[in-house]
Structure 1
Amino acid sequence: MAFTDRFGGASQPPYGGLNLGGSGEDPDRIAANFHLIAETFGVQPDAVVRVSQVHGRDVHVVAPGDELPIRSMPKADGLVTTRSDVVLAVRAADCLPVLLYADGVIGAAHSGRKGMYVGIVPATVDAMRALGASGITAVLGPYACGKCYEVPEAMRAEVAERVPASYSETSWGTPAIDVAAGVTAQLAELDVEVVDATACTIESENLYSYRREGPESGRMAGLIKLAAR
Structure 2
Amino acid sequence: MKKHYTVYTANKKNKLKPIYKNLKLNNMPIIKMNQTHSNIIHTITEKPNQALITITNTDGLITSLKNIGLAIKFADCMPIIIQAHHHLCVLHSGRKGTQKKILTKAIKQLKKLTKKDQDYHIWLGPHISNTHYEIDPIKKTTFNMLAETIAQLKSEINLAKNKLIIHSECTHTSNNFYSYRGDNHTKKRNYIICYQH
TM-score range, shorter chain: 0.7 to 0.9
The match for 2:12 among 2, 6, 30 is 6
**1:99 Cα offset (Å):** 0.5
Give the TM-score normalised by structure 2: 0.82
- Which structure's residues are more often strand, by fraction? 2
Q: Which residue of 2 aligns with 1:218?
A: 188
Q: Which residue pairs with 2:4 in the alignment?
A: none
Does the aligned pair in 2 maintain the 1:49–1:86 contact within 8 Å? Answer: yes
Q: 1:144 aligns with which of 128, 149, 164?
A: 128
Render the CA deviation track for 1:127-159: whole Å, top value 9, x for unaligned: 3233326332210011000111111179x9xxx
CA contact (8 A) 1:98 1:222 kept: no
Distance 1:35 1:55 in 2: 24
- Alignment match of 2:83 (pick from 101, 117, 122): 101
Which of 160, 175, 182 pairs up with 1:205?
A: 175
Q: Which range is displaced more, 211-220 or 77-86?
A: 211-220
Question: Please, which runs of 5 or more residues in structure 2 have no aligned partner?
Answer: 1-6
Shift of 1:216: 3.2
Answer 1 or 2: higher relative contact order, Cα 8 Å, separation at least 6: 2
Does structure 1 retain, via aligned residues, the 8 Å contact 2:47–2:65? no
User: Which structure shows the higher helix fraction?
Assistant: 1
Separation in 2, partners of 1:54, 1:37 = 28
TM-score normalised according to structure 1 size: 0.72
Work out the number of aligned pairs and report it: 185
Q: What letter corresponds to residue 180 of structure 1 in structure 2? A: L
SS of equivalent to 1:218: coil
Code of the residue aligned with 2:64 in structure 1: it is: T
The RMSD of aligned alpha carbons is 2.5
Structure 1 unpaired stretches of 5+:
10-17, 19-31, 157-173
